[in-house]
Amino acid sequence: MVDVPSIKTREIKTVKNMPINKTLKFWEGLIAGKVYGTRCTNCGQLHFPPVADCGKCFSSEIEWVELDTEAEIEAFTHVVIRPASFCGCEPYTVAIGRLKEGVKVLAWITGFEPAQIKIGMKTKLIAKVTPEGNPTYAFTPLI
């Protein structure tokens, strides 16, 4: 990387604490096997990812709704060259799927051979906890 004279910077490690206080129900839902969005009780807008405040009508009155699990794939890519913090993973496939309610979800798609994944295919959205203990969600085969 460095082929000419240089001095190394001082090293620091930073890890931030990202608040999930207002979306706690979502993260708890994933552990319970459910994927929630939020609906604004004032204007009816359904939000995914879930929000505590409605950017459409500016109400903060929201309700949690469990989302339909059938997703139609609109875009995907097999990520071969991974970022530094994902280098412990095998190459993975990321997809964007549209749910019946109209909202879209971006997540990994698992359980398929790469060649099987096509735009327009139907998949199932599931909630899960990774082996490392992170709550997450993924697209999987319908059956």
Residues lying near other proteins in the complex (CB under 8 A):
1-4, 6, 9, 18, 48-49, 74-87, 89, 92, 94, 96, 103-108, 114, 118-120, 134, 136
C-beta of 89: minimal distance to other proteins in Å?
A: 7
- Residue 89 or 142 with smaller CB distance to other proteins: 89
C-beta of 106: minimal distance to other proteins in Å?
A: 4
- Residue 58 or 86 with smaller CB distance to other proteins: 86
CA distances from 18 to 10, 23, 29, 31, 130 (A): 25, 11, 18, 18, 19
- Residue 83 or 143 with smaller CB distance to other proteins: 83
C-alpha–C-alpha distance, residues 106 and 35, integer Å: 13
Q: Tell me if 64 sits within 8 A of 38, measured CB to CB.
A: yes
Block residue for tokens 């207002």: 22
